[in-house]
Structures are given as structure tokens and as C-alpha cells.
């Protein structure tokens, strides 16, 4: 199972939110490249870089931060947040993203998301399935749809999607454990590479995600709040 560290960006700084609420913003590093280098030096390979400004603005904003991290490290970066057009996707890849994640766009404009799959291939495009009470949420989690998360994932798996990042918004940033039952249910229904996101607080949580069969797990606040050390994450 891949360990993927999250760096969320607002105003060019590394921050974390709780339950996606922008008012809970806490800044951990002024320079995201600094923490990216620390991660790489500590043995981490995978980075989940989220443009929270872009998620609000519905267009890519922090691509220069992506470019700096991609140019200053050898981390394998997946980039998401606000990608809404062919131009956004092009900019992200040109700036060094190895994969991009589409969430809101897959709900609101499926034809655009599907065009990314055709243009770049399913190995480059991740489906973002962020949910609240098992309903898909969009636009930086500010809106909730009536789409059930498993049905949503299944529909895109049938259209070629291979990898899905699923975040339970109620768990995100709360350090109270991940949504074990949610991920079990998804993997029983759909054959995809599932990346768990939200709530990880300990090595025990990571063991649970591995046992379920998750392809990867995203770790954010647990790292920044020293609940799990960088050495432990790298060794895992």
C-alpha cells in the first residue's frame, strides 16, 4: 500500500483544514517546497498536492507551487483542486504533475473529465470521490449532490477509471480514524485502485486500510501534528 503525504495550498502556503471548512485553516509551513524536501529526504515517494484556492475559484491557481515542488524534488505528484478545463489539465501536467485528480468536474461536466481520460490515459487521471454521508460533494466540499458515492465510482470504473481517491469529509482532519466501513463497501462493489483519505491518526489506521485492500492511503494532519513520525511512515 502506498503512503501518500498531502500538502494543501492556500495563498502559496502549506495548510490543513478540518472537515473541509476553510475557516479552520491552520498554516504549518510558509514554503511548501521546504516540507516537500523534508518528505523526500525522509524516504517518502508520493505527494498529494491540493490547490484549495483553485477548488474555490474553479480554476487552477497554485500551479507555480506545483512547478517549484516538481522542479525541486523527485516526488511523484498527483495534483488536484479546481481543475475544470482542458487548459487546467495541460497547465498541471506542464508544471510537473504526474497525475491529476478531477472531482467536481466529473460530477458537473463528465464530458470534460472523460476527454482527459482519452487524452492522457487512465493511468494519469484520478477520480476524486469526496463524500459526506455517502453523497458526493463538490466545489471544495461547499456543495453536496444526490449522487451516492459507490454508484458514482462504479459508473466511472465502467468508463475506464482505474484509480479513485475517496475522502469522507466528516473524517477529514479530525484524527479520529478513517472510514473503514465505507472503503470496505466500495471495494466489495467495485474493482478499482482505491486511495483512502481522511481521518488517519495512527499506524493502526494504516494497517486497517492495508487489510481492507486499499491501493494507497493519504496522510495529512497526522504527520503535521506528529501523530505518526516521518520515519514510521517511510518504514511502513
- Residues designated catalytic: 8, 130
Measure the CA–CA gap between 229 and 79, rounded to whole angstroms. 24
> DSSP code of 12?
T
Whether the CB-CB separation of 39 and 48 falls below 8 Å is answered with: no
- Residue among 19, 36, 43 at smallest CA distance from 72: 36
The crossing angle, in degrees rounded to 10, of helices 63-72 and 86-94 is 30
d(CA 38, CA 30): 14
How far apart are alpha carbons 193 and 76 in whole angstroms?
17
User: Sign of the C-alpha dihedral, residues 186, 190, 196, 202?
Assistant: positive
C-alpha torsion sign, points 117, 120, 121, 125: negative
Amino acid at each position: 500500500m502506498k503512503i501518500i503525504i498531502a500538502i494543501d495550498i492556500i495563498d502559496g502556503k502549506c495548510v490543513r483544514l478540518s472537515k473541509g471548512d476553510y475557516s479552520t485553516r491552520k498554516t504549518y509551513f510558509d514554503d511548501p517546497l521546504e516540507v516537500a524536501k523534508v518528505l523526500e529526504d525522509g524516504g517518502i515517494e508520493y505527494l498529494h498536492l491540493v490547490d484549495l484556492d483553485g477548488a474555490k475559484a474553479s480554476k487552477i491557481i497554485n500551479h507555480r507551487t506545483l512547478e517549484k515542488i516538481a522542479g525541486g524534488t523527485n516526488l511523484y505528484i498527483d495534483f488536484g483542486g479546481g481543475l475544470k478545463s482542458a487548459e487546467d489539465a495541460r497547465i498541471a501536467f506542464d508544471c510537473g504533475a504526474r497525475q491529476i485528480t478531477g472531482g467536481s468536474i466529473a460530477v458537473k461536466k463528465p464530458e470534460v473529465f472523460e476527454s482527459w481520460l482519452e487524452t492522457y490515459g487512465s493511468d494519469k487521471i484520478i477520480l476524486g470521490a469526496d463524500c459526506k454521508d455517502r453523497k458526493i460533494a463538490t466545489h471544495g466540499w461547499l456543495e453536496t449532490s444526490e449522487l451516492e458515492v459507490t454508484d458514482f465510482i462504479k459508473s466511472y470504473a465502467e468508463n475506464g477509471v482505474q484509480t479513485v481517491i475517496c475522502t469522507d469529509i466528516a473524517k477529514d482532519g479530525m484524527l479520529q480514524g478513517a472510514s473503514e466501513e465505507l472503503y470496505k463497501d466500495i471495494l466489495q462493489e467495485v474493482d478499482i485502485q482505491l486511495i483512502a483519505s481522511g481521518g488517519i491518526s495512527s499506524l493502526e489506521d494504516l494497517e486497517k486500510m492495508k487489510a481492507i485492500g486499499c491501493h494507497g492511503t493519504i496522510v495529512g494532519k497526522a504527520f503535521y501534528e506528529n501523530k505518526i513520525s516521518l520515519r514510521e511512515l517511510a518504514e511502513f
